[in-house]
Chains A and B, each alone.
Chain A
Amino acid sequence: MDTPAIRTENLTRTYRLPRRRWGKAPAPDAPREFTALAGVTLDVRPGELFGLLGPNGAGKTTLIKILTTLLAPTSGTAEVGGLDVVSQARRIRPFINMVSGGESSGYGILNVRENLWLFARMYGVPTALAHDRIDSMLGVVGLTEKAGSRVSHLSTGQRQKMNFCRGFITDPKVLFLDEPTLGLDVTSARAIRGFVREWMKQDPSRTLLLTTHYMAEADDLCDRLAIIDQGKVLACDTPGNLKKRVQEYPIFELSLAPGSGGWAKLGDLPGVHQSTAVEKPESIEVKVALFEEPAIGAVVQTLATNGARILALKKVEPTLEDVFIELVGHGLADAEETTAKGAPADA
């Protein structure tokens, strides 16, 4: 069996909270610690594009910092390529890299090409090869014309694209992307997603761990996903299997012309689990839950036999948002509001 590209077992990280702030003694019941990760166990296979989905403060970034050897776990173990992130950090570093969406790294006095070259040299990438890769990556993110511009003259989005390039120029075997499309325009984000997909196809031994806020991005890119909240993994599966958790039966929505008949009998049909309908002035909206998908044929036939005119028919697919709400108890946006009101956001 292959060594997992990434493996964590009962991984926990706590931060000590400051006891005094500006000379004020803390409230007696104030917590002494904040738990960013609480016993996370994960296996990511080589070649997998694995997603971590969760609100701010869920522990995604803490997990990435531990896996990239920047932060020591409080307890539990974490391995990358079969190597321990604490005791074998130096052996892990040559084949990993990380890009964070909000990072502001780089030297303003240097231009884009020089910055990328500088960080490529930290991995021992030969200068000529580094320049080839820089040219290629700048083309991917549409920054070719800015290659000679000083980083201090770039916009935030352009700087983010530069940092995205930095992660790929060292050709890592395990890449960590922490919110890579955060704040980027739709076209750039789409180009980046397309590139990530292609990059993974080029070499099946590459592994990518992606954290994101964007459900559609996770759904679109990831082979498997872990939903994480308050430092705990709530579920881990393929996007398809996760969605099946919230939808036991296939559901179809039909829009019928006003005055159509037959919709009241749908619940009695064999193969139909449940049927509901809402009459509106302009249409009748029918929702049917089926035991098996082929039963939709009988539904359509019944309606047609009863003189109903079908205006629209569509299958209702559950989204990752539905899965998230089911597991966490609230939507991602709600969680962020809560975080903004006081929970530690940079976990």
Chain B
Amino acid sequence: MPESPRHPATPSPRHAAKLFVAAALARSYARVAWLFRSRSWMIQETVLPVLAVAAFAYSYQAMLDPRSNPEVAAQYTGLVVLGAAMTTFWLNVLWGMGAALYWERDSGNLELFVMSPAPMMGVLTGMALGGMTTTFVRATVIATAGVLLFDVPVNPTSWPLLGLVFFLTLTALYGLGMMFASVFLRWGREAWHLVNLLQEPVYLLTGTNFPVSAIFPKAVAAAATLIPLTAGMDAMRQVLFRTPGIFGVWEEVAALAVLSVIFLFTARWLLARLERRAREEGKLTVRWQ
């Protein structure tokens, strides 16, 4: 049976890699399909964040008087627009990634994934890719609307550097999301509360609507860069609006690269360990707990 040529006893690395990619693309398909088939998202997930951006943008404009301080006003407004766009990724990491395996278990899909030969990291990568794609569309809509409505100048010091920072921010963020997914799989219902707990404080620590380096003491700001969203947004603001940052751009790029590697490897380790524990405790298949 396992010796049969159709079911090789030990899959080759090439076969394993192909299965990883197949699983990732297949799982991401369900998320991307959602983008095209649930169009109501356009209102609640783009119009509402743009309204939130407007509130902060008008506050900054009222305080900084764009006629006498056009550059600073534009910088601050741009900072808020970028914050709103990037926050959509954080929300997706929390709700779309962190709680994902919990949802999958309750819908009965998790046991099918675990039982299949596809590596669970492949399945999680698929969730991440799908989440990134759909959130990228949302973030682009929010950013475009913000730039057009509030006349934000888009003139980065380097487009490739901006792309690199954005890519690393997403890699680190979704690596963190994969870690959350593994932990939440074991914790079950408590995961829900943890997601809620993480949502609001992170808005503050990442400086969604204000420059972290200008408000927090250096030590607090430096500690906050352990959250990839903080380091990523800070570096992107430096590249886009030339605002002072917590650290230099390249230092933050390095931090994001290190965080990405740490989060992805920890996610892989945690997933294997917690999946084993869940099998022992019978939690892979028990629903609503």
Interface residues of A (CB under 8 A from B): 3, 5, 15, 46, 65, 68-72, 81-83, 90-98, 103-107, 109-110, 114, 117-119, 121-124, 150, 166, 171, 173-174, 205
> Would you mind naming 25 contact pairs between A and B with Cβ atoms under 8 Å apart?
A3-B1, A70-B279, A72-B276, A82-B1, A82-B2, A91-B2, A93-B117, A94-B11, A95-B2, A95-B4, A104-B108, A105-B107, A107-B30, A107-B33, A118-B26, A118-B27, A121-B26, A122-B116, A122-B118, A123-B118, A124-B15, A124-B22, A124-B117, A171-B6, A205-B1
Stretch at the interface among B161-169, B202-210, B280-288: B280-288
Leading 9 A-B pairs by shortest Cβ distance: A121-B26, A81-B1, A105-B108, A122-B116, A122-B118, A94-B117, A95-B7, A93-B117, A72-B280
Q: Least Cβ distance of A126 to chain B in Å?
A: 9
Question: Are B10 and A91 interface neighbours, CB within 8 A?
Answer: yes
Q: Interface centre among A81, A90, A122, A150, by most B CB within 10 Å?
A: A122
Q: Which residues of A contact B115 (CB under 8 A)?
A: 68-70, 93, 96-98
A71 and B284 in contact (CB under 8 A), knowing A93-B116, A122-B118?
Answer: yes
Interface residues of B (CB under 8 A from A): 1-2, 4, 6-7, 9-11, 15, 18-19, 22-23, 25-27, 29-30, 33-34, 37-38, 107-109, 111-118, 123, 276, 279-280, 282, 284-285
Q: In the bound complex, how far is the Cα of B117 from the Cα of A105, in angstroms?
A: 18
Q: Least Cβ distance of A256 to chain B in Å?
A: 57
Q: In the bound complex, how far is the Cα of B277 from the Cα of A71, in angstroms?
A: 10
Question: Are B1 and A69 interface neighbours, CB within 8 A?
Answer: no
Q: Which residues of A contact B15 (CB under 8 A)?
A: 124
Q: In the bound complex, how far is the Cα of B106 from the Cα of A103, in angstroms?
A: 11
Q: Which residues of B contact A46 (CB under 8 A)?
A: 1
Q: In the bound complex, how far is the Cα of B37 from the Cα of A322, in angstroms?
A: 54
Q: Least Cβ distance of B231 to chain A in Å?
A: 34
Closest Cβ neighbor of A89 among chain B residues: B279
Q: Least Cβ distance of B42 to chain A in Å?
A: 16
Q: In the bound complex, how far is the Cα of B37 from the Cα of A205, in angstroms?
A: 43
* Given A68-B115, A166-B112, 15 other A-B residues pairs in contact with their CB atoms under 8 A: A5-B1, A65-B282, A69-B115, A71-B282, A91-B9, A94-B7, A95-B1, A96-B115, A103-B108, A106-B107, A106-B108, A109-B38, A118-B30, A121-B26, A174-B1
Q: In the bound complex, how far is the Cα of B114 from the Cα of A119, in angstroms?
A: 11
Q: In the bound complex, how far is the Cα of B115 from the Cα of A121, in angstroms?
A: 13
Q: Which residues of B contact A103 (CB under 8 A)?
A: 108
